[in-house]
Chain A
Amino acid sequence: MSNQFKNLNRRDFLKKTAAAGALGALGANGLITQAMAAGDTVHFMAWSAAVDLVKSHVAEFQKVTGINVNYSNAPWAQYRDNLITKFVGNAPIDMMWVSDAWLPEWAEAGWIKPVDKFDNLMKYNAEAEKFCNDSMTYKGSQYGLTYYTDFMAFLYDDEALKKAGISNPPKSWDEVTEQCLKIKNAGIAEYPLMLALAQESWLIEFLAAMTYSHGGNFTDDKGNSIMQDPKEGAVRALQWVVDAVHKHKIVSPASVEIGELTGLKAFASGNHAFALEPKYRMRTLNDPKQSKIAGRVKQALMPMGMDGSHATVGWMRFHGMSASAAADKTRAENTARLIEWFGGKANGEYKFQKYLFTDIGAGFGVKPLFNDADVQNAYNSYADVNIIKEQQALARKKDVVTPWFGEWNEVHGSSWQAAILQKATPAEAMAKAGKKWDELKKEMG
């Protein structure tokens, strides 16, 4: 041991350690501040989906543009909380994936900013589905470009229908009842229609699809609740579900504890003839490795209710820009370039949306991709691309996405379940959901 260390007494040791620590802290702080201020690194946060694909697309972006990207991800279940905590703590985030359900909340909080001023992003609107553009728009401003999109689809097991002597899938909800009863009476399925109505994030998508196809709405053009209206609201759709469970017994009373994934497995096991499922699940359902009814699952347009249409609900996730990125010209421009690289065209084509579709079956929101030969071949191997295109064009944005959506959604989901459990009538259940909406709108609107 050198003399230098031999002569080091306790007091000196403490002094030097403290000094080194302080210098280190200052240095680290300086480096972080420098990195944050530099603006040549885009901090990109996403949930942990298609991670390898994202990484390779980021790598290509870095190579082409020379802009450094710091990509990180968090599981979907914790993503919203994770990101909100980061926003509140002013963590460096420039671009992030956003769910349409969070847009008003995050925009009102000032965490994300519109991207309208970037012409290189706005030019893609002409080729995007209307509900996609609508879903990224809040108070007249657009907040990003499509990451992926999908809609609720009405699926059926073609063989089960044929066994029951049914040649065409139902066009209306009344026909759904008739065909289900036929299938049930033939002993093919105890509960021919699978509805997954457990209290989870998917629930609103199922309920909105039922409501829209029955010709109903949750709110009017001014955002006032009309869900409790017997004709224009969601009461008719809910009444249909209650009758399906208790009067016709074509939907399982256990549907209130069946989540989307459990429902998918039950349908894939051949326990049902019809199901409401996100469209992208068709790939799984027609895959022999994952489904007993592979090759038999087809899509029909969403059945119509009285005064209804084939409308369904569509949802989307998009690439958004943070407020901190928007505040700095260079960071904002770099972030907009990365948004375009992912949500728009990269090297002249909608590369990322196409990759997502061909790799994991996630839906895209730009119409030209329907004409892509690879996309058509992939779709036609397990679905009918024309029906998908037709149904996607009829998809609608949820009319309840507001800053108070989450709080209302808890009560709304419970209200539907209460009616299905016959603890309330459909009118009472929707009145409760409507009342909650009005209270929250008054408080936060």
Chain B
Amino acid sequence: MRSSPKRDIKFRLARRFDYESRSAALFILPVMSVLAIVAVFPILYSFYTSFFNLKLTRPHRVPFVWFDNYIKVLSDELFWASVSRTVSFTVMSVAAILVLSLSIAILLNESFRGRRLLSAIILIPWAIPTVANGLLWKWIYDSGFGALNGLLFQLGIIDSYITWLGDSDKTIPLISNSFVWKEVPLAAILILVTMKSIPEDLYRAAKVDGANVFKRFIHITIPSLKPGFMLVMIYETMMAIRHFDLFFLLTEGGPAEASHVVSWQIYVETFRNLSFGTGSAMSYILALVTFALAYFIIRTLGSKL
């Protein structure tokens, strides 16, 4: 008797996936379904959207435009100016985070009285919600009643109040400062964890060989920190490139276009202009750039660190 094709497939599947695998698949199915609905579908749909001239306020005219949205974005001067500002923000933020977090990790790696208390205090900025952090810095930087002007004035460092966020030359560094303040604690903890995992024997052996503190730091600590450094660098680079909250809360892209970074441009295009086609295209360009940059860091710097 010949078996039907349907039964054949069923039989082959049963042979390929045993009872355990099938049960496991069944158990993860609900989670995978939710993920497919809330993550995979929107990602694929926004990619599909990026090929249409979809403007929410023009619901009856949504032509398929092939790669026009991508061409439009890439030939826009404002977009490239935003890219340049995003790069500046990312470079200055990540560099500052790496230096500060390494310094803090070295400090916390030492044994001294009050170390635990200091560790807890250092973690506070990380624990503050992003919006609260933004509002906090908005008050600090305010040119009229801000704490920064008040402090500098009372210390006699300035004789009249300075314009902070309203000065386009200072805007990006000041936002970067707020970003660094929030991000350093997590980076410091990640580097500290890596530091703690360096075998003590290496330092003892180096001491026996006559290496001083500086040499031990350069030849043992720094190379051993490579995994932690890589993690922090990639994570913080991605966070900085995509960062939006502080730009929204502190300056709304201004003054003029001083803090008009790529994430801000995506927001304006998508949610203010309601141009979902162009906004999706920009998002995909940003995602690709972020991915490429992470890959570049791993392939080049990763091997040298």
Contact = CB atoms under 8 A, between A and B. Distances in A.
B143 A198 contact: no
A431 B303 CA distance: 50
B148 to A, nearest CB: 13
A423 B160 CA distance: 23
A287 interface: no
B4 interface: no
Given A109-B59, A410-B268, A417 B144 contact: no
Contacts of B235: none
B257 A403 contact: no
Interface in B40-71: 56-60
B57 A417 contact: no
A410 B269 CA distance: 10
Interface stretch (A123-131, A178-186, A247-255, A358-366): A247-255
B279 to A, nearest CB: 12
A110 B254 contact: no
Nearest to A417: B256
Contacts of B194: none
B166 interface: yes
B272 A254 contact: no
Contacts of A110: 59-60
B42 to A, nearest CB: 15
Interface in A83-108: 84, 88, 105-106, 108
A421 B251 contact: no
B255 A200 contact: no
Contact of A108 (B57, B163, B165, B260): B57
Contact of B166 (A88, A257, A410): A257
Interface size classification for chain A: 35 or more
A198 B163 contact: no
Contacts of B221: none
Interface string B99-129: 0000000000000000000000000000000
A54 interface: no
Contacts of A252: 143-144, 163
Contacts of A105: 57
B251 to A, nearest CB: 7
Interface centre among B255, B257, B272, B273 (most CB of A within 10 A): B255
B274 A84 contact: yes
Contacts of B255: 198-199, 256-257, 417, 420-421
Contacts of A198: 252, 254-255
Contacts of B163: 252-254, 257
A165 B272 CA distance: 47
B168 interface: yes
A423 B254 CA distance: 13
Contact of A421 (B142, B164, B168): B168
Contact of A257 (B56, B59, B254, B272): B254
Contact of A88 (B59, B258, B271, B272): B59
A193 to B, nearest CB: 14
Contacts of B251: 199, 257
B252 A423 contact: no
Main secondary structure of the interface of B (DSSP, over half): loop
B144 A256 contact: no
B143 A254 contact: yes
A414 interface: yes
B256 A257 contact: no
**Main SS class of interface, A:** helix
Interface in A398-420: 403, 406-407, 410, 413-415, 417-418, 420
B185 interface: no
A414 B273 contact: no
A224 interface: no
Contacts of B254: 198-199, 256-257, 413-414, 417
Contacts of B60: 109-110
B134 interface: no
A161 to B, nearest CB: 22
A254 B57 contact: no
B169 to A, nearest CB: 9
B166 A407 contact: no
Nearest to A411: B78
A199 B273 CA distance: 15
B253 interface: yes
A7 to B, nearest CB: 27
B256 A88 contact: no
Contacts of B253: 199, 414
Interface string B198-225: 0000000000000000000000000000
A30 to B, nearest CB: 26
Contacts of A262: 142, 144
Interface in A407-445: 407, 410, 413-415, 417-418, 420-421, 423, 444
Nearest to B273: A407
B56 A84 contact: yes
A258 B256 CA distance: 13
A97 to B, nearest CB: 18
Given A88-B56, A108-B57, A110-B60, A410 B252 contact: no
Nearest to A444: B58
A259 to B, nearest CB: 9
A96 to B, nearest CB: 15
Given A417-B254, A417-B256, A421-B256, A254 B273 contact: no
Contact of B272 (A256, A406, A420, A421): A406
A414 B257 contact: yes
A109 to B, nearest CB: 5
A84 B59 CA distance: 10
Contacts of B268: 410
Nearest to B271: A81
Nearest to A263: B144
B43 to A, nearest CB: 20
Nearest to A106: B57
A359 B255 CA distance: 36
Contact of A84 (B57, B142, B166, B260): B57
Contact of B57 (A403, A414, A423): A403
Interface in B15-62: 56-60
B256 A418 contact: yes
A254 B166 contact: yes
Interface string A389-401: 0000000000000
16 contacts: A84-B57, A88-B56, A105-B57, A106-B57, A110-B60, A199-B252, A200-B252, A252-B143, A256-B254, A257-B251, A257-B255, A406-B272, A410-B268, A413-B254, A421-B255, A423-B256
Given A252-B143, A421-B258, 16 more contacts: A81-B271, A84-B274, A109-B57, A109-B58, A198-B252, A199-B251, A253-B163, A254-B166, A255-B166, A256-B166, A258-B166, A406-B272, A415-B256, A417-B255, A418-B257, A421-B255
The 5 lowest CB-CB distance pairs between A and B, nearest first, are A257-B166, A254-B143, A418-B256, A256-B255, A199-B254
